[in-house]
Amino acid sequence: MSKIYDRKTGKCTEITQYGGGMMQEAYHGKSSRFLLPVVTSRMYTRLWGWWQCTPFSCNKIPGFVKQYHVNMADYETQVFRNFDEFFVRRIREDARPMPFDPYRLIAPADSKLLVYPVREDMRLNIKGLEYTLEELTGSRRFSKMFAGGQCLVFRLTMDDYHHYCFPDDGWQKLRRTVPGRLHTVSPYSSEKKVYQENFRVVNLLETKHFGKILMIEVGALFAGRICNHPVQCFRRGEEKGYFRLGGSSILMLLQKDAVQLDEDILEYTEKGIEVKLRYREDIGTSV
pLDDT attached to residue 52:
80
pLDDT tier at 38, thresholds 50, 70, 90: low
Tens of pLDDT, residues 236-278: 999 999 988 766 889 999 999 999 999 999 999 999 999 999 9
pTM of the model: 0.85
pLDDT tier at 159, thresholds 50, 70, 90: confident
Say if strands 150-156 and 129-132 run parallel, antiparallel, or are unpaired: unpaired
User: Annotated catalytic, 110?
Assistant: yes
User: Annotated catalytic, 248?
Assistant: yes
Sign of CA dihedral 103, 99, 213, 205: negative
pLDDT tier at 86, thresholds 50, 70, 90: very high
Catalytic annotation, pick one of 110, 111, 186, 189: 110
pLDDT tier at 87, thresholds 50, 70, 90: confident
Tens of pLDDT, residues 100-118: 999 999 999 999 999 999 9
pLDDT tier at 225, thresholds 50, 70, 90: confident
Domain limits of the chain? Answer: 1-287
**DSSP per-residue letters across the chain:** -EEEEETTTTEEEEEPPTTHHHHHHHHHSTTHHHHHHHHTSHHHHHHHHHHHTSGGGGGGHHHHHHHTT--GGGB-----SSHHHHHTPPBPGGGS---S-TTEEE-SSSEEEEEEE--TTSEEEETTEEEEHHHHHS-STTHHHHTTSEEEEEEE-TTS--EEE-SSSEEEEEEEEE--B----SGGGTTS-HHHHB-EEEEEEEESSS-EEEEEEE-BTTB-EEEE---SEE-TT-EEEEEESS-EEEEEEE-TTSEEE-HHHHHHHHTT-EEEE-TT-EEEEE-
pLDDT attached to residue 14:
79
pLDDT attached to residue 189:
47
Catalytic annotation, pick one of 57, 189, 248, 249: 248
User: At residue 205, what is the residue type?
Assistant: L
